[in-house]
Structure 1
Amino acid sequence: METSAAVGATRSRTAKTTLLSEVLAEADATEMPTVVAWLSGDTTQGRLGIGWRSLANLDVAPATEAALDVADVQAALTALVSATGAGSRAARTQILGELFGAATATEQQFLIRLMTGELRQGALAGVMVEAIAAAAGQPSPLVRRAHMLTGSLPETASLAVHGGADALSAVGLQVGRAISPMLATPADSLEAAHEALGPDLVVDFKLDGARIQVHRDGDAVSVFTRTLRDVTAQVPDLVSVVVGLPCRSVILDGETLTLTDDGRPRPFQETMSRFGSMADSPDDPRLLRPFFFDCLHLDGTDLIDRPLSERLDALDSVAGHLRIPSAVRPTLEETRAQFDAAIADGHEGVMVKSLDGVYAAGRRGKGWQKVKPVHTVDLVVLGAEWGSGRRTGFLSNLHLGARDPDGGPPIMVGKTFKGLTDELLRWQTEEFPRHETHRDSYTVHLRPEIVVEIELDGVQRSSRYPGGIALRFARVVRYRPDKTAAEADPIDNLHRLLPPNGS
């Protein structure tokens, strides 16, 4: 508890790493994965099914002396998720009462924040990886790679502590286990991206869809979102396509979207809502269409460390007909034509990629650069003000924050109410209170969980907001339920939009 508070109180990445590594070094080897999960704001049991109101209304006097240990809390959390069926509500109430009755007031607050997903002490994955490496005495690059391939900080910690360098080195791709997707860096311009990565590059359409990672092992297919959520059961249309590919095993990276009758992309929100319902027939407009741009494994061979040119050859051999429209080794004029074609077809822009680059799982690699016709950033909604006039009774003006790259809470950079349709106003007025921390007469303040895509003309220096900058002519494009706050744009990306004179 003390470490969590101390980590949350500092903006220094070095200090965070030191604090975390010290507490991890003190943990028993069997407890370390659990401690890693907790200090990352997660539980090893996954979703506990306990709501904020249930815990807020829990009237249990705190213990006067600390007596709980890691094993005690783990056992209680496991019992919570195991309590199902008839009588489960009473059983869960009893488990919570006994757990909170044995906890001090400070421990109760920590448990509430942990169990509701509100533990925001700034232990981002990158910081925790460094802390695990220091505590286990293992090289950071080795721990970082193992985390990229397992997608699990607790599992990585267990490997580092129990198996050391040999266990970490042995981690490879596993068909059926999602890995963190490679991300792109915003380009300064189309010309700058072409010059930086050319001449051996490929220019893909940047589709306005949902990121997917598909795995196939024989007849077994798994489909994951960009946040590594398994949505296989919700997308039988995608599964049927992957099962029909001419291979035994494969891992493909790509996008999926719904299309209009003339082949243009439907609005992003329609694609995202499709994950909550089934398409009824091949003619159903909700049918998801897959488009792939990378191949990480094919028929027993891992390709993640191979150059993109080889990965694309593998992709063409098994799913060339599903490849995202792309131009290989284009001239600058051909790159401009590819960008214009993507926009004309209703897509977001293009991705410019180095053909020599490897797949940097879980990282924003300079080898992938995205180019859009306007500046857009993904920011975190920190709160919303009650509207006036026509918007009276609706939550309207949004408080927006950029991600702190050092793991602190999001940094406020501006407000906007522009771009909010009547439908979005109704939605956020209903949804935001579910993420509320507190409110005053003007504003409902939120846990940093909701990501929104914002279009802006640029930024300017300003002392009005903690970030030292302010958004210029910001407007809402859409909400991004496919992204977490950890995937929002860091404030560094906004600083790069400052004009040369910094004004």
Structure 2
Amino acid sequence: MHAFAALLDSLIYTRSRNAKLKLVEDYLKATPDPDRGWAMAALTEDLDLPAVKPALIRALVETRVDPVLFRMSRDFVGDTAETVSLLWPAPIVPADPAPISVTEAVERLRHLSRSDAPAELGRMLDRLDAEERFALLKMATGETRIGLSARLAKTALAQAYGQDVDLIEELWHGLEPPYTALFEWLEGRAPQPTPADVPTFRPFMLAHGLEDARVSLDVYAAEWKWDGIRVQIVRVGDQTRLYSRTGDDVTGSFPDVAGAFSEPGVVDGELMVKGEHQGAGIEVEGAASFNALQQRLGRKVVSQKMLSDYPAFVRLYDMLVDGTEDIRHLPWTERRERLEAFVPRLDPDRFDLSGVIEAEDFTELEAIRAGARDAAIEGVMLKRRDSPYVGGRRAGLWYKWKRDPLTADCVMMYAQRGSGRRSSYYSDYTFGCWNEEGELQPVGKAYSGITDEELRFLDKFVRTHTLNRFGPVREVEKTMVLEIAFDSIHASTRHKSGVAMRFPRIARIRTDKPAAEADRIETLRRLVT
């Protein structure tokens, strides 16, 4: 555990991407199996220890430390694992001095019931130093948050052994931790693992932002960028799997889609929910807003009522494997022809084809995009017609041209300290608009979009203009106006204001505007799509 703890500690304080890669590479080469496999599972958040939850950790530490002291410390530090690792007291009876390996910790915790987990976790924490306790708790909860993405961890693994990261990614989802067969192949001790008859994930092709550039529609095809979640559907043998963009298996959340896909192959598309609403500028084509899709996301058990009220479907726009033939090397135009021939064989209630936008030139496309303000659309995708399907972002192949955000002037009402490096600042702001009775009513919460200098400015405002405290939340004087940018706004029965913003963020601080001139909720309701 000591080596893994040292790795996490170094990663937290290392900003350079290449330096992070070197740290992980060195750890993997120096660490034996199966410790390094379990470590990789933790770094990629593929380690599942269901008996250990954050609530269990909080309850456990409050049996050893004064609860008020813990909560105040947690509020200040902003991270439960770090707080517990530092506050955990030395045991009254000296603990077993023998070191605990990563494998020992995982094997002990993964087979525990929730009733047995607190005692066993406590015994392990007694045997570890603060750095090791931090590593154990991060590993146990599956939330490392150390500035290392799963993709970057796999890139380090690939570089350590001179392999292609996309190949590692494809193999990854057909294997189980601690990935012994994978390491044996990487070190030349065994053949490449090839999971037979298993629907494995392929890395998604991603797009760069278009920024202010213009492209030729003779070279690029234009499609709508739909506002759902991107999924990859894989059918092999008699199995169908749905994967999210991060490679997570989401089949269980969408059994209606998986059950309807019976043709062998691999396709890429946008998962949405059917619905009727009034769009602006284009034909809506039966897709509801992202707000409807949210009712289905993250559910491990989906009721019949949920399936009926929020029927899911996938709008397909690319094809990776046709039957058993991998066609990712073909240009987009040929893959598109294959997809157009493939879609009619699917259930039309669950799958349709994302159309190509017809425009004479880029100027006409700009006009079409400007007139499309619809809840199911995020913007436009531009795909080079001769581009192969390659994992990751490759310059010049695909561009995303998101629509301009909506904005509203809102008044800050409440503030709360953030997490991580912002845990010492009031960085999470609840804001509101005026209702018909002339009262401020909350309409959203934002914590992004501002610079460090602006963060310090707003933090000082919160501290010097506090009216009331409600636990970690401060109510402030209603004088600070924030211009809030958001992608769309939807009707919501869960919010008292009746509206919910999609991706709200702070566009600018309006010190020039009095709070009385901030927007009214009625103005926001007119923007509902």
Deviation at 1:256, TM superposition (A): 2.2
Classify 1:233/1:48 alpha carbon distance in 2 versus 1 (closer, same or farther; 3 Å). closer
Classify 1:296/1:47 alpha carbon distance in 2 versus 1 (closer, same or farther; 3 Å). farther
**Alpha-carbon separation, structure 1, partners of 2:394 and 2:427:** 25
State which of 253, 259, 274 in structure 1 corresponds to 2:268: 253
Classify 1:311/1:341 alpha carbon distance in 2 versus 1 (closer, same or farther; 3 Å). farther
Contact 2:166 2:391 in 1 (8 A): no
Question: Which residue of structure 1 aligns with residue 520 of structure 2?
Answer: none
1:201 matched to 2:220: yes
Contact 1:206 1:342 in 2 (8 A): no
Larger Rg: 2
Amino acid at match of 1:178: F
Question: Which residue of structure 1 aligns with residue 241 of structure 2?
Answer: 222
1:355 matched to 2:385: yes
Question: Which residue of structure 1 aligns with residue 132 of structure 2?
Answer: 107
Deviation at 1:216, TM superposition (A): 2.0
1:475 matched to 2:478: no
Question: Which residue of structure 1 aligns with residue 338 of structure 2?
Answer: 314
Contact 2:44 2:150 in 1 (8 A): no
Contact 1:21 1:135 in 2 (8 A): yes
**Alpha-carbon separation, structure 2, partners of 1:161 and 1:222:** 26
State which of 262, 267, 270 in structure 1 corresponds to 2:292: 270
Structure 1, residues 430-468: CA drift from partner, whole Å, max 9, x if none? xxxxxxxxxxxxxxxxxxxxxx797x8xx8x874459xx
**Alpha-carbon separation, structure 2, partners of 1:164 and 1:4:** 23
Classify 1:29/1:64 alpha carbon distance in 2 versus 1 (closer, same or farther; 3 Å). closer
Amino acid at match of 2:110: T
Question: Which residue of structure 2 aligns with residue 182 of structure 1?
Answer: 205
1:42 matched to 2:63: no
1:26 matched to 2:30: yes
Matches within 5 A, 1:268-307: 268-275=290-297, 276=299, 277-278=302-303, 280=305, 284-307=308-331
Question: Which residue of structure 2 aligns with residue 53 of structure 1?
Answer: 55
Partner of 1:178, secondary structure, is: coil
Percent of counterpart pairs with the same letter? 21
State which of 101, 107, 114 in structure 2 corresponds to 1:75: 107
1:15 matched to 2:19: yes
Contact 1:176 1:221 in 2 (8 A): yes
Classify 1:28/1:210 alpha carbon distance in 2 versus 1 (closer, same or farther; 3 Å). same
Deviation at 1:309, TM superposition (A): 1.8
Amino acid at match of 1:360: V
Contact 1:259 1:285 in 2 (8 A): no
Structure 1, residues 126-178: CA drift from partner, whole Å, max 9, x if none? 54234324543x24xx2443225535898797566311388797769976223
1:2 matched to 2:10: no
Classify 1:52/1:104 alpha carbon distance in 2 versus 1 (closer, same or farther; 3 Å). same
**Alpha-carbon separation, structure 2, partners of 1:351 and 1:43:** 31
**Alpha-carbon separation, structure 1, partners of 2:317 and 2:335:** 9
**Alpha-carbon separation, structure 2, partners of 1:355 and 1:93:** 57
Classify 1:342/1:203 alpha carbon distance in 2 versus 1 (closer, same or farther; 3 Å). farther
**Alpha-carbon separation, structure 1, partners of 2:353 and 2:396:** 22
Partner of 2:334, secondary structure, is: helix
Matches within 5 A, 1:281-430: 284-319=308-343, 322-327=352-357, 331-336=361-366, 338-340=368-370, 342-343=372-373, 347-363=377-393, 366-375=396-405, 391=413, 417-418=430-431
Classify 1:235/1:25 alpha carbon distance in 2 versus 1 (closer, same or farther; 3 Å). closer
Q: TM-score, normalised by structure 2?
A: 0.64
Matches within 5 A, 1:141-152: 142-147=164-169, 150-151=172-173
**Alpha-carbon separation, structure 2, partners of 1:100 and 1:2:** 16
**Alpha-carbon separation, structure 1, partners of 2:261 and 2:125:** 48
Contact 1:349 1:372 in 2 (8 A): yes
Contact 1:212 1:256 in 2 (8 A): yes
Deviation at 1:400, TM superposition (A): 10
> Which is worse superposed, 228-237 or 103-112?
228-237
Classify 1:48/1:236 alpha carbon distance in 2 versus 1 (closer, same or farther; 3 Å). closer
Contact 1:33 1:155 in 2 (8 A): yes
Contact 1:7 1:19 in 2 (8 A): yes
Deviation at 1:346, TM superposition (A): 5.2
Classify 1:301/1:19 alpha carbon distance in 2 versus 1 (closer, same or farther; 3 Å). same
> Which is worse superposed, 234-243 or 145-154?
145-154
Deviation at 1:338, TM superposition (A): 4.8
Question: Which residue of structure 1 aligns with residue 147 of structure 2?
Answer: 122
Question: Which residue of structure 1 aligns with residue 120 of structure 2?
Answer: 95
> Which is worse superposed, 8-17 or 150-159?
150-159
Question: Which residue of structure 2 aligns with residue 164 of structure 1?
Answer: 186
Contact 1:125 1:153 in 2 (8 A): no
Partner of 2:343, secondary structure, is: helix
Contact 2:243 2:250 in 1 (8 A): yes
Amino acid at match of 1:42: E
Partner of 1:67, secondary structure, is: coil
Question: Which residue of structure 2 aligns with residue 231 of structure 1?
Answer: 250
**Alpha-carbon separation, structure 1, partners of 2:363 and 2:369:** 10
Question: Which residue of structure 2 aligns with residue 131 of structure 1?
Answer: 156
Partner of 2:266, secondary structure, is: strand
Classify 1:227/1:76 alpha carbon distance in 2 versus 1 (closer, same or farther; 3 Å). same
**Alpha-carbon separation, structure 1, partners of 2:11 and 2:306:** 51
Amino acid at match of 1:350: V
Amino acid at match of 1:214: I
Question: Which residue of structure 1 aligns with residue 512 of structure 2?
Answer: none
**Alpha-carbon separation, structure 2, partners of 1:47 and 1:372:** 38
**Alpha-carbon separation, structure 2, partners of 1:3 and 1:400:** 21
**Alpha-carbon separation, structure 2, partners of 1:108 and 1:156:** 21
**Alpha-carbon separation, structure 1, partners of 2:211 and 2:443:** 36
1:210 matched to 2:229: yes
Contact 1:264 1:346 in 2 (8 A): no
Classify 1:135/1:238 alpha carbon distance in 2 versus 1 (closer, same or farther; 3 Å). closer
Partner of 1:348, secondary structure, is: strand
Classify 1:155/1:355 alpha carbon distance in 2 versus 1 (closer, same or farther; 3 Å). farther
Partner of 1:122, secondary structure, is: coil
Any stretches of 5+ residues in structure 1 without a counterpart? 378-386, 402-407, 429-451, 467-471, 480-488, 495-503
**Alpha-carbon separation, structure 1, partners of 2:419 and 2:40:** 29
Amino acid at match of 2:201: A
Classify 1:215/1:110 alpha carbon distance in 2 versus 1 (closer, same or farther; 3 Å). same
Amino acid at match of 1:473: E
